Structure 1
Amino acid sequence: MKNTWSRLDIEDLGIVRVRINSPYNSFFGMVSELSDSRIIISTYRVLGSDDYYVLALSSEKDVGVYIDDIVKREKYVRRSKIKRLRYHYIDDILVIYGVKSKCEFLGLIEDSGVVLLTPYIFYKGAREYLVLARRNMLHRYLDNVEKYYGIGHVEWRELSDPEDLVKSILGGSILSIIADRLTEQEVRVLKTAYEGGYFNYPKNSRQTDIGSMLDRSKVTISIHIRKALRKIVSDVIKTIYYTEQGLFSF
């Protein structure tokens, strides 16, 4: 067998981050827009069938309510090609799974010869994702996407900096769902505490210092930090527990 690796120059490859601002017949896009939330989605073609299996995650508690509301309006379900859909909560994470008879989004990817990297997300109605391919195929794919969704609805940027790539991958990972569980105040306090060296050993700042910067009392800062850390540690402990249980525990 001939070695074909030498034929592929790394410089011939490109990774592009794409954002589609129009949900355009997307069930999950509509749910994300109405609930003002982030939904992480993985979609797979079922071998030997034209159907697609969909698995989605969200930490927004109201997403289930919007799903029920949209499902009642049958025309939206038919337009989205959804055949079956279920959801339930695992602790604080909403798990949505179902089957679609057609997926135009993945169809464009498959027909253009590009690869979808990591799960894609819907955030407040907009779809965001990463694709990898030879540069000539990327350009063809982007042309097809702009034709399908409308050039005014598509934004894209090539990721040549490894740091930008890592940030984009993390933004579409389960970590973003965990971060969504924090309130705006908790995020603000944690960022200020982190940047001020509060979590260093020894500490470079105290809760009173953080309170002064945010015009909040020490008690308020303490409450926000404890609540935020409890959520984060809770998710870490659950992950450790699930890992220890193993995927094939009997």
Structure 2
Amino acid sequence: MMKGFNTYPLKLVNIYIIHENCWSKYYLNKDLVEILNLIPYPEKNLLRVFAIVSERGYRDITKLKFEERIKEIFNVYRYGNKIFVDLGRDYDNSIFSIITKHNGIVLNTMKYNGGEIWNFLTYEHKINRIIKDLDEIAEIENVNISDNLPLDTLTDKEFKILSLAYEAGYFDYPRKIKARDLANMLGIKQSTLIYHLRNAEKKIIGSFIKNISKD
């Protein structure tokens, strides 16, 4: 076995879920809400959600804000026929908080018609715990676990850096290791580490989105 690596199998998990205490349960529009990024602020019980929606989808989201199912809308920006929305919801008991609590790496998530799709990477031995915790706050409609990781396009260096970052807790919240310390472990500059990590993340997410689009 290669030094610095272990034999825990990494799995790709896809779930479709109805989240009872989330605004998505009341978003009954079939227009897809694409989530660009999620930023947690646990100390404020806030999860920032950066989303792309249609005109009709945005009208439904503003209605949910009026009904206080969404905590806050921080910013709205229109480009073309799409609308960028920066909104906030409770961090506690969010799907994101549960996945990341168990060290999962969220690849992407989408909302539509009262449900949520989540795609994430996690170790095989953590899947049952994640599902158990999710089941306590939501209705799990479908779970798909796959060995087909979207890692084919990664270079050896990108895969090595991504694996070590995962093992060392770089993707945990709060992070267990800083980028500077991770770079020192690898004997590279911090800027080089960040460059390779971002490339790896971009490739993984891009590959997964392409596969979802094909389906």
> TM-score when scaled to structure 2?
0.61
Q: Answer 1 or 2: higher relative contact order, Cα 8 Å, separation at least 6.
A: 2
Deviation at 1:28, TM superposition (A): 3.7
Cα-to-partner distance string for 1:170-210 (whole Å, 9 max, x where unaligned): 366xxx6xx9xxxxxxxxxxxxxxxxxxxxxxxxxxxxxxx
Q: Hey, what does 2:49 align to over in structure 1? A: 54
Q: Hey, what does 1:25 align to over in structure 2? A: 21
Aligned partners of 2:52, 2:3: CA distance in 1, in Å?
38
Cα-to-partner distance string for 1:74-112 (whole Å, 9 max, x where unaligned): 3x23xxxx1344323111111110233425212211222
The SS at the match of 2:134 is helix
Give the number of the structure whose residues are more often helix, by fraction: 1
Aligned partners of 1:29, 1:4: CA distance in 2, in Å?
46
Aligned partners of 1:168, 1:124: CA distance in 2, in Å?
22
Give the number of the structure whose residues are more often strand, by fraction: 2
Deviation at 1:120, TM superposition (A): 0.5
Cα-to-partner distance string for 1:150-176 (whole Å, 9 max, x where unaligned): 4xx33111122358x98753366xxx6
Aligned partners of 1:4, 1:134: CA distance in 2, in Å?
19
Map 1:199-210 to 2 at 5 A. none
Cα RMSD after superposing both structures:
3.0
Q: Hey, what does 2:134 align to over in structure 1? A: 145
Of residues 64, 80, 105, the one that matches 1:115 is 105
Please identify the structure whose Cα radius of gyration is greater.
1
When residues 157 and 37 of structure 1 are mapped into structure 2, their CA distance, relative to the original with a 3 A threshold, is same
Q: Hey, what does 1:45 align to over in structure 2? A: 40
Residue 154, structure 1, aligned to residue 141, structure 2: yes
> Gapped runs of 5+ residues in structure 1?
180-250
Of residues 58, 74, 85, the one that matches 1:64 is 58
Structure 1 outlier segments of 4+, above 3 Å: 46-50, 83-86, 165-168
Map 1:78-227 to 2 at 5 A. 82-103=71-92, 104-117=94-107, 119-150=108-139, 153-161=140-148, 168-170=208-210
> Gapped runs of 5+ residues in structure 2?
151-203
The SS at the match of 1:62 is helix
Deviation at 1:29, TM superposition (A): 4.2
The SS at the match of 2:55 is coil
Alpha carbons 1:18, 1:129 under 8 Å: kept: yes
Aligned partners of 1:99, 1:130: CA distance in 2, in Å?
21
Deviation at 1:39, TM superposition (A): 0.6
The percent identity for this pair of structures is 11
Alpha carbons 2:110, 2:118 under 8 Å: kept: yes
Deviation at 1:128, TM superposition (A): 0.7
Aligned partners of 1:114, 1:62: CA distance in 2, in Å?
32
Of residues 1, 10, 15, the one that matches 1:13 is 10
